[in-house]
């Protein structure tokens, strides 16, 4: 089994976990104290899995390009192009998490307009990561099952 497949499955596990924890942290001020470390670690893991999958993808794409039909090559290329967006989406979510967990939404900070805006941005980043993951996974499944 190519290591890209293992990395992809771990990405499919960690990105939703990070997105859910991000939403809970953003929307529940009472949970922030105990959620802070798992939130940061899950987001770091999600980005790490995306980077690992992306680093293993070119070798698999090269193999597919050599041996696949035109439709399979097209589907694999669509998956590869979509995967770049997943790095940007999860990277943006991690960046927002780090900024907000240490500044705007840290557990002891009182609620403010900025903290509400930060919460909305965190939820938007989590949703964007989930939607992008769905699109990348769907393109990958199409590439695998295109024959």
CATH at 83: 1.20.120
Alpha helical stretches, state H, 101-145:
113-144
* CA neighbours closer than 13 Å in the CB half-sphere of residue 51: 7
Q: 94 and 46 in contact (C-beta within 8 Å)?
A: yes
Tell me the C-alpha distance between 94 and 80, whole Å: 22
Give kind and range of the element (H or E) at residue 42: helix 32-67
How many structural domains is the chain composed of? 1
- Per-residue pLDDT 10s for the chain (147 aa) are 578 889 999 999 999 999 999 999 999 989 899 999 999 999 999 999 999 999 988 888 888 788 888 888 888 888 988 899 999 999 999 999 999 998 888 888 888 899 899 999 999 999 999 999 999 999 888 888 865
Q: Report which of 134, 119, 128, 110 is spatially closest to residue 24, judged by C-alpha positions.
A: 119
- pLDDT score for 11: 97
Tell me the C-alpha distance between 131 and 146, whole Å: 22
Show the domain range for 23: 3-144
Largest CA distance in the chain: 59
């Amino acid at each position: 089994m190519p290591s890209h497949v293992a990395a992809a499955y771990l990405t499919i596990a960690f990105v939703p976990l990070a997105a859910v924890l991000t939403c809970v942290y953003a929307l529940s001020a009472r949970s922030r104290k105990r959620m802070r470390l798992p939130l940061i670690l899950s987001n770091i893991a999600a980005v790490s899995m995306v980077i690992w999958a992306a680093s293993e993808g070119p070798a698999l794409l090269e193999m597919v390009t050599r041996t696949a039909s035109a439709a399979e090559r097209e589907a694999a290329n669509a998956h590869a192009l979509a995967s770049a967006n997943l790095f940007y989406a999860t990277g943006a979510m991690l960046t927002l998490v780090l900024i907000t967990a240490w500044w705007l939404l840290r557990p002891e900070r009182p609620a403010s307009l900025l903290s509400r805006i930060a919460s909305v941005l965190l939820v938007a980043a989590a949703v964007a990561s989930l939607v992008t993951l769905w699109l990348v996974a769907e393109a990958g499944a199409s590439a695998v099952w295109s024959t």
